[in-house]
Amino acid sequence: MTSAAPFTEARERLCETLHEMAAAKLSPGSTGNASVRVDGGMLISPTGAACASIKPADLVFIDQRGHTETGALRPSSEWHMHSAIYQARPEAGAIVHCHSRYATTLACLGKTIPAYHYMIAVAGGDSIELADYATFGTDQLASAVIKALNKRKACLMANHGQIAFGSSPEQALALAIQVEDLAAGYCQCLTLGEPRLLSTDEMNEVLAKFSNYGLQPQQPMQRR
């Protein structure tokens, strides 16, 4: 692997997603990061950069053994978590992590998002679970996130934020935006009372509909 910025299209698409995440106000300051699976490893945003200012050449290639290229910027401190998800979930093509306001609010209160709305199924289950707290950038946090994903494509992270994956950067971001919207809706419900939660049977029906015909055909991620 050379540092001649390979994976041109993947870099451009991931960069576009990072800019959209910033425009959607999901990643205040220099928080938030995103990655995409590529041949031999992943591309991930660099540490300490505001998502809106990241350029395609700034993205860091990390191979499957965790090595970066000479001369590359330092990768996001959360790269262990991204790497662990790619290993545990072969269907993950891209990952978005952010400290979006309402998802983080619930995560700081130690709450999951229960089935207060049928769209919870968009993450792949009848709730959006909460990963136990661990220090950012650690293998313990990566393990906690893998556990909380629990057959789903998104989870909250205690005292931290949220993480979502999809088959492409666009789909991962779309899910993170939906998780944030669901978190905001749940926060609003809690200010007025306790929402009625959908039953297991009701959610199973929704999950079956989503898996049968609720999804659009997915665009294969093009590499290089």
DSSP state of 197: P
What amino acid is encoded at 116 in this protein?
Y
Distance from the Cα of residue 64 to its chain's centroid = 19
Which residues lie below 8 Å from residue 208, measured CB to CB, with a gap of 6+? none
Give the closest residue to 161 by CA, choosing from 139, 120, 128, 119: 128
- Assign 3-state DSSP to the chain and report helix, strand, coil percentages, each to 5: 45, 15, 40
Place of tokens 């041949």: 39
Give the closest residue to 35 by CA, choosing from 85, 88, 91, 104: 85
Q: What is the C-alpha separation between 163 and 100, in angstroms, rounded?
A: 10
Q: Which two tokens stand for residue 44?
A: 């991930």
Q: What is the C-alpha separation between 40 and 165, in angstroms, rounded?
A: 19
What amino acid is encoded at 11 in this protein?
R
Q: Are 172 and 154 in contact (CB under 8 A)?
A: no
Q: Which of 20, 69, 78, 91 is catalytic?
A: 78
What amino acid is encoded at 10 in this protein?
A
78 is catalytic: yes
- Active-site residue list: 78
